[in-house]
Amino acid sequence: MFLEPHFKGQRSGWIEVICGSMFSGKTEELIRRLKRAKIANQKVEIFKPAVDKRYDDTKVVSHDANYILSTPINHSSKLLELTEGVNVVGVDEAQFFDEELTENCQKLALRGIRVIVAGLDMDFKGRPFGPIPNLLAVAEYITKVHAICQHCGNLATHSYRLSEEEGTVVLGEKDRYEARCRTCYHMGNILSLRS
């Protein structure tokens, strides 16, 4: 069954996913793409999980202090309610959203909206994180960005937790996490098990 897009001038929508470890530039890339869409006079809306208040209550802020105004939401269903007449939707910290995020992003794409999602692809234990794996499966475009390992200087793909907290969701920055390559990440986990 073919669904007619809501916007007559726009033929189809799609999903873009920007993923990687902490400190890899995911939010920076998201902001860059959204600002370019605004320069092209497209109507843009950006959303973030209401739980993420690390830098600001309503702004999406990169580690380099670039920012863009956003709407904090508690559930991905709000994306469908708050995007009437929008050309581009941005979603930051997607790993903190509910599992319905993938379905709701697909609904937006079927409306003819370009959906750009940024988030961690793995949690601190190196496991797929939240709805990101499902988004990767359905996205038309995927960009995996890398940080630099703070121990050896190689490309970092893992977020290594420095604190002792056990919960999957522990908000923090450089006080609680480091970007590490695969080898340094696993060496750190082995050493922490010995101590």
Query: Which tens digit of pLDDT belongs to each residue from 179-195?
Result: 999 999 999 877 665 44
Name 69's bridge partners. 59
* Confidence band of 56 (pLDDT split at 50, 70, 90): low
Instruction: Check residue 140 and report its DSSP letter.
Output: S
Residue range 132-162, pLDDT digits in tens? 999 999 999 999 999 999 999 999 999 999 8
99 catalytic residue (yes or no): no
Find the catalytic residue in 16, 29, 93, 178: 93
C-alpha separations of 67 from 34, 63, 71, 99, 143 in Å: 11, 9, 13, 26, 20
Burial class (CB in 10 A: 0-12, 13-18, 19+), 47: buried
Place of tokens 């843009």: 44
Instruction: Check residue 96 and report its DSSP letter.
Output: G
Q: Which domains does the chain have, with CATH numbers?
A: 14-145 (3.40.50.300)
pLDDT tops 90 at residue 74: yes
Residue range 8-51, pLDDT digits in tens? 454 689 999 999 999 999 999 999 999 999 999 999 999 999 88
